[in-house]
């Protein structure tokens, strides 16, 4: 599905200079969101490794194709086809009651030059909707881990309704702590 990001969401996108007219023209970005497939593997890996400064294995990414409970969505600039954002998550069942599902947001990144344009919000909401509608009873909450020093991402998630639940010490290879953030699904959207 093609999503048109309205100009109102694009305050920080580069302006293209129109030399002949001598003034600036804001660029409108069309974003195409699609499900991950094997042909996206190399490009998605490169994008994530660059934007998250982590090394994702092919096996990690392939789970989002092979597992029914997992989903990875890719946002592209419709004009150039360049990947500008990736989000991935999976359904996690309660240990106490296997029928209750929670959505686990595992990966989210937007290309540096496209940030603060509403793309992260669109991707996260798309993933939440996909996870919610894939379970007949809906999901009770969505949760994620974020490095406690990643202030921009924490602000972003708070803006999307996530609340800090706890701090997991040494979650990232024993070096950095993670904040676990959670968002309740409203009864109407379960």
Q: Which residues bind ligand COA (CB under 6 A)?
A: 51-52, 108-110, 115-121, 146, 150, 152-153, 155-156, 159
| Shortest distance in whole angstroms from residue 52 CB to ligand COA | 5
Residue 104: name the closest of 95, 91, 94, 93 by CA. 91
Residue (7 or 152) nearer to ligand COA, CB = 152
| Shortest distance in whole angstroms from residue 29 CB to ligand COA | 11
| Shortest distance in whole angstroms from residue 187 CB to ligand COA | 25
Residue (8 or 96) nearer to ligand COA, CB = 8
Q: Per the structure block, which two tokens stand in for 6?
A: 């309205």
| Shortest distance in whole angstroms from residue 112 CB to ligand COA | 8
Residues 89/127, Cβ–Cβ less than 8 Å: yes
Residues 85/72, Cβ–Cβ less than 8 Å: no
Name the 3-class secondary structure at 161.
coil
Residue (118 or 138) nearer to ligand COA, CB = 118
Residue (103 or 120) nearer to ligand COA, CB = 120
Q: Per the structure block, which two tokens stand in for 153?
A: 């991402």
| Shortest distance in whole angstroms from residue 136 CB to ligand COA | 29
> Which residue is at the shortest CB distance from ligand COA?
120
Name the 3-class secondary structure at 177.
strand
Residue (155 or 167) nearer to ligand COA, CB = 155
Distance (Å, rounded) from C-alpha 16 to C-alpha 123? 25
Residues 178/150, Cβ–Cβ less than 8 Å: no
């Amino acid at each position: 599905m093609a999503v048109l990001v309205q100009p109102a969401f694009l305050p920080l996108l580069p302006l293209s200079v129109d030399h002949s007219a001598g003034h600036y023209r804001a660029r409108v970005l069309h974003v195409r969101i699609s499900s991950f497939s094997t042909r996206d593997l190399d490009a998605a890996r490169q994008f994530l490794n660059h934007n998250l400064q982590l090394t994702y294995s092919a096996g990690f990414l392939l789970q989002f194709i092979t597992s029914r409970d997992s989903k990875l969505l890719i946002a592209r600039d419709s004009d150039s086809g360049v990947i500008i954002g990736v989000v991935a998550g999976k359904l996690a069942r309660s240990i106490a009651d296997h029928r209750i599902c929670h959505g686990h947001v595992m990966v989210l990144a937007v290309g540096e030059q496209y940030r603060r344009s509403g793309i992260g919000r669109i991707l996260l909401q798309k993933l939440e909707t996909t996870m919610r509608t894939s379970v007949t009873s809906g999901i009770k909450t969505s949760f994620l881990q974020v490095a406690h020093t990643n202030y921009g991402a924490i602000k972003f998630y708070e803006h999307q309704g996530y609340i800090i639940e706890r701090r997991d010490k040494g979650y990232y290879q024993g070096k950095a702590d993670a904040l676990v953030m959670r968002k309740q699904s409203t009864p109407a959207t379960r």
